[in-house]
Chains A and B, each alone.
Chain A
Amino acid sequence: MDDSGFPTSVPSSEGAGVAAVVSRSTAADQTGPPDLAELLRRCGRGDEQAFATLYDAMAARVFGLAKRVVRDPAQAEEVTQEAFLDIWRSSGRFDESQGHAVSWMLTVVHRKAVDRVRSAEASTRRDTTYHHENHATEHDSTAEAATASLEAHRVRQALAGLTQAQREALDLAYFKGYTHSEVATMLDLPLGTAKTRIRDGLIRLRDHLGVGQ
């Protein structure tokens, strides 16, 4: 059993972000997923309708990531709200040439979530046994589930290309919010090794997924 925390086999495939994107954009009478970068630009000009569309497209991924890191649903809601406020406030400064819209937004959420768990150090989070949570979304039509499954499958395949050690280090850092020094201690690694594993793992992931520039 791989205890890295990352799925390596195919679980039930409800609840991936793409599903949300697909369903909401259809509701907005578009044929494809919304152009998030364009929505961000409109937000920067104060367009609240664009923000609502952005929220609908991203809420599941934002909340899901926040909850994965902070665990507590009430705190995850707070982090989600703070993150969306930040995204709105800073939307005029989003620069597509400097980064991808989704990762820009998830970066905001992730840092907020990590800062939250670190400031609440020694809280129940450290005592909680880690486990996977696969939540069904409210709108898992077959088509959406298929799209989501496809996307999730691609990521899982990329993850399978990582070494177990890289997956472990990445999981502790990204989903549990530990610093690389803490990760090194937890995995009995010489100090300084964990950051290399994290970086190597991300590089391999990037190359597998073809998200380099």
Chain B
Amino acid sequence: MTTSIHALSGAYAVDALDDDERAGFEAHLPGCRDCQVEVAELRRAAAELAHDVAEEPPAALRASVLGAIATVRPLPPEAAPEPALEPTAATTPASNVVPIGRSRRRRLANLAVAAAILGVVGVGAVTQPWNPDPTSPSRNLSAADRVLSAPDAEAVTQRFPDGSSATVTRSVSEGRAVLSTKRMAAPPEGKAFEMWLRIDGRMAPAGLMTDGGDQTFVLTGDGGAATAVGITVEPESGSAAPTSAPIAYLEFEGTA
């Protein structure tokens, strides 16, 4: 089944998502101010539930905790993010993340470094060369233009802490989805970004992206039938099914 990712806010606030859903929602959160606000409010409401359950811990625990923190240095504040990009996930403690999320964040951190380098070399520079692989997304810009200008075009954007962003625009009437990246870091050595269309609950390969930067391309497959688009890091030759947690997961609204 498919679902609007916004509807997961309540379950996320009380940790009632499974690992995959949690990773998907945490990928969505940085780009969605509404969800950030709602999650903060609902967490606060949930915290009120804990009023009745307070119980003094054993006295010895105090000495144990205070002794333990003496050996740990608090993390420095994070570099001031742009306000619109401030992810709620980043305001929750670093170790308060499932392993899957942690690895994703580490990848994002790597991307951030790469993006920073890109930024020095030339942001918003020329279009990157396309993957010559014939199975890769079409570079037919007129098809992309048709989707982008379609009357029923709907767009979902996800922004990342490093300032890069990915936007998926799809048109049901055109039956296509278009991915546009801004300041995207290049994939790690020997890897590629693989795009996926979520159709009927399954992830169908929709093309490979071997470069970062600012790109626009039409995804392979029936973008009109897709409920979401995911991006994962895969071996350069691509995978038949995602082998890692998405670094981006963009869900179309109104597909619940």
Contact = CB atoms under 8 A, between A and B. Distances in A.
B207 to A, nearest CB: 30
Contact of A65 (B13, B37, B53, B64): B53
Given A88-B74, A89-B72, A195-B10, A211 B45 contact: yes
B75 A55 contact: no
Nearest to B72: A89
Instruction: Give the bracket for the number of chain B residues in contact with chain A.
Output: 35 or more
A177 B69 contact: no
A70 interface: no
B54 A64 contact: yes
B106 interface: no
B74 A89 contact: yes
B75 A92 contact: yes
A105 B28 CA distance: 23
B137 to A, nearest CB: 32
A81 B68 contact: yes
Interface stretch (B94-102, B117-125, B225-233, B245-253): B94-102
Interface of B: 1, 3, 7-11, 13-18, 21, 36-37, 40-58, 61-62, 64-66, 68-70, 72-78, 86, 88, 90-96, 98
Interface of B is mostly: helix
A56 B44 CA distance: 21
Contacts of B92: 90, 104, 107-108, 111
Given A92-B75, A211-B44, A198 B16 contact: yes
Nearest to A205: B45
B87 to A, nearest CB: 9
Nearest to A169: B16
18 contacts: A17-B51, A45-B74, A64-B55, A77-B58, A90-B93, A94-B91, A95-B86, A107-B96, A155-B49, A175-B53, A181-B18, A196-B10, A198-B11, A198-B14, A198-B16, A199-B10, A205-B46, A206-B42
Interface string A170-213: 10011101111101000000011011101111110110010111
B91 to A, nearest CB: 4
A199 B13 CA distance: 9
Interface string A3-35: 000110001000111111000000000000000
Contacts of A84: 65, 68-69
A103 to B, nearest CB: 4
A29 to B, nearest CB: 19
Contacts of B8: 195
B1 A48 contact: no
Interface of A is mostly: helix
Contacts of B75: 89-90, 92-93
A5 B76 CA distance: 41
Nearest to B256: A192
B77 A93 contact: yes
Nearest to A135: B55
B93 A108 contact: yes
Given A63-B55, A63-B57, A199-B10, A111 B50 contact: no
B94 A180 contact: no
A168 B134 CA distance: 53
Most buried by A among B21, B52, B66, B90: B52
Given A85-B68, A107-B47, A110-B14, A199 B55 contact: no
A199 B41 CA distance: 11
B254 to A, nearest CB: 15
Interface in A123-148: 133, 135, 137-138
B149 to A, nearest CB: 34
A203 B7 CA distance: 12
Given A63-B61, A98-B36, A196-B7, 7 more contacts: A61-B53, A89-B94, A91-B74, A106-B50, A107-B96, A206-B42, A209-B48
A148 B50 CA distance: 12
Given A86-B95, A92-B76, A192-B3, A180 B54 contact: no
A55 B94 contact: no
